[in-house]
Structure 1
């Protein structure tokens, strides 16, 4: 029977510059060190969404990990699939408009890869969260107005559930925070699996 580490002196590192992921961690009492990964995401070309996001999450975490001695390093990556086609961040407003025209009124899936590296124990856990998202059947005018805000250009799938884009999601099936970019329940499971009490990271 393993004994949980109820008191840990470990830094928690977020290998991402995502404001949404940082906000989620702060919401549950974790104040991470933010260390953006400079990993070139274009270097990874995979056709399977789950394999793609878990590989990218792992690469991001592994790029940042050598900068720290003992820490928990979290890397994440998200994509949207609609009709089995993978969508990351749109490269331009025109692409974002075209994507929304193709996904309105449809169901998509958000895949978020999570890689948690424990430098103290030299262990790592990699998981993927999948959430179904049902998009409203919005008009061309609404799509253009939404893209004009600039919000969709920084988001996988061209929408932010926690922002203006939340108006255009009819319902979700699965983890809410996974759609935003980090599944909090999955993070809890991963820290527990490494032998830590997740509450010990509260500040």
Structure 2
């Protein structure tokens, strides 16, 4: 039996994967995101947003993969192999990359800039195959980014204030959701809506295929 191990604390990602039958194990990475990005910029120069999220997704997945022997993963049986999935999301608006807001004032400012306009939500995905080679494991480490155009509604001042007061925007990249209270404030998207929630199921399928796995092979029956 092979399980998907999600290297993220995001309940939206876990729920999306569970709805697709994958019921992932969860282990949160311990990486310092600012330090990871700083090191990547020193090595490669300025990063495009699509590359920045991929760098962070890789760091998270590989951090968890390295620490598998010391982690206490709830629900993980000793006879189960795992493939580790790391993800990270950022919103690109006017060439600026936006992660989670610092505080409520920052979230309000974000929505003042976003309302009535569109941005690109980039979600990096990184997969590490930790299966035993005797069970078909490849030990591969690979990833890709899904980018989706998001068109925001032209919110009134009262709507911005009310939405930020729920504190939902403070917990998510780009200060919005499409699967929660922020759903009515997104007019439409161009691309995979799963990626906006936090994990692209079609992209995950392609990454799994690259290590000779299928989505049905990971379904929890």
Q: TM-score if structure 2 supplies the norm length?
A: 0.86
* Shift in Å, 1:67: 3.0
CA RMSD of superposed structures (Å): 1.1
2:25 & 2:174 partners in 1: Cα distance?
A: 27
* Shift in Å, 1:183: 0.3
2:214 & 2:68 partners in 1: Cα distance?
A: 21
SS, match of residue 182 in structure 1: coil
Equivalent residues in 2 for 1:119-198, closer than 5 Å: 119-120=130-131, 121-198=138-215
2:113 match? 102
The reply on whether 1:61 has 2:53 as its aligned counterpart is no
Structure 2: stretches of 5+ with no match in the other structure: 42-46, 70-80, 132-137
* Shift in Å, 1:68: 3.0
2:44 match? none
* Shift in Å, 1:148: 0.1
SS, match of residue 164 in structure 1: coil
2:66 & 2:25 partners in 1: Cα distance?
A: 14
Equivalent residues in 2 for 1:7-22, closer than 5 Å: 9-22=1-14
2:94 match? 83
1:62 & 1:106 partners in 2: Cα distance?
A: 36
* Shift in Å, 1:189: 1.0
The reply on whether 1:116 has 2:108 as its aligned counterpart is no
Which of 104, 111, 116 is 1:93 aligned to?
104
How many residues are aligned here? 195
Q: TM-score if structure 1 supplies the norm length?
A: 0.93
Structure 1: stretches of 5+ with no match in the other structure: 1-8
1:33 match? 25
2:186 & 2:3 partners in 1: Cα distance?
A: 36
Summarize deviations over 1:46-95 as a string: whole Å, max 9, x none: 54201110000000001100233742000000000111111000010000
